[in-house]
Structure 1
């Protein structure tokens, strides 16, 4: 279950309904997929080969196609990150810069944990969305944000894109952001 921490007040928001309401008010899509559909050996393998990634996409085919139909996504894939990932620190440095995209950034977490840090509207400031298996989030286009791993440093996620070039970030210098 996702949890939210508002960074400038340390307020923690828990419970699916509360998280969904908060994110909805920030125009951030939040949904749940059934994490138990995926065999445990795929949820906990952070060095997936292409066949295993295909198994994940096949397992969640109905959910992926539903999201794609509703929101215009054209391509999707599976990404895994862990300490076994080559150049992990370089990737995290790239991901951990505040940036925007010209399309939504959507991730369906199917294993491990991660955090999206998103700039909220008005006085909210930046907030963390701590995600685990079953959580699906879509950060709206042109919204300042970044992604990082949690302490376990392991994640498996389905990514969906409108642009066939995939993930294209536009760095943002935001003096209001404090790490």
Structure 2
């Protein structure tokens, strides 16, 4: 279950209802999916074959299509990151820079953990969203954010988008160092 940590106040927000309420107020979509659908051999597997990725998409096909229909997404794939990922350090450095997109950034975590750092409203400032398997999130287009891994450094996620061009990261510069 996702946990929110507000950086400027130190507030920690837990529990499905409270997390959903907080994220909704910040314009971030959140819901939980049944991770129990995932076949046992994929539950903690982070070095995926194309067949494994297709299996994950097949298992969640109905859920993915429902989300896509509700929110306008037309493309999806699976990404896996771990210490076995070639060039993982370079990828993480790229991910850990605050940026925006012209499309929502959507992740359905199917294994492992990750953290989205999102710029909220003026009062809230930046907050961490610590995600685990079953968490579904959509950071709205043009919202400053970045993504990184948690200490276990492993995550598998389904990514959804409207147009692959919308996934181009546009650097975001803070007027003051607020992260």
The TM-score bracket by the shorter chain reads over 0.9
Superposed, 1:29-44 pairs within 5 Å as 29-44=29-44
Distance 1:103 1:112, change over 3 A: same
Structure 2 counterpart of 1:64: 64
SS of 1:24 mapped into structure 2: helix
Structure 1 counterpart of 2:82: 82
Taking the aligned partners of 1:176 and 1:13, their CA distance within structure 2 comes to 26
SS of 1:45 mapped into structure 2: coil
- TM-score in terms of structure 2 length: 0.97
Please report how far the alpha carbon of residue 123 of structure 1 lies from its aligned counterpart in structure 2 after TM superposition. 1.1
Please report how far the alpha carbon of residue 171 of structure 1 lies from its aligned counterpart in structure 2 after TM superposition. 0.6
Taking the aligned partners of 1:177 and 1:65, their CA distance within structure 2 comes to 39
- TM-score in terms of structure 1 length: 0.97
Structure 2 counterpart of 1:98: 98
Structure 1 counterpart of 2:169: 169
Taking the aligned partners of 1:176 and 1:95, their CA distance within structure 2 comes to 20
SS of 2:118 mapped into structure 1: strand
Superposed, 1:110-129 pairs within 5 Å as 110-129=110-129
Please report how far the alpha carbon of residue 178 of structure 1 lies from its aligned counterpart in structure 2 after TM superposition. 4.4
Aligned residues: 179
What per-residue deviation string (whole Å, max 9, x for no partner) do you get for residues 76-101 of structure 1?
00000000000001111111000000
Distance 1:42 1:169, change over 3 A: same
Please report how far the alpha carbon of residue 166 of structure 1 lies from its aligned counterpart in structure 2 after TM superposition. 6.2
Taking the aligned partners of 1:31 and 1:66, their CA distance within structure 2 comes to 13
Give the conservation status (yes or no) of the 8 Å contact 1:6–1:128: yes
Taking the aligned partners of 1:177 and 1:51, their CA distance within structure 2 comes to 43
Structure 2 counterpart of 1:19: 19
Please provide the CA RMSD for this pair.
Answer: 1.1
Taking the aligned partners of 1:158 and 1:128, their CA distance within structure 2 comes to 20
Q: Which runs of 5+ in 1 are unaligned?
A: none
Q: Which runs of 5+ in 2 are unaligned?
A: none
Give the conservation status (yes or no) of the 8 Å contact 2:118–2:128: yes
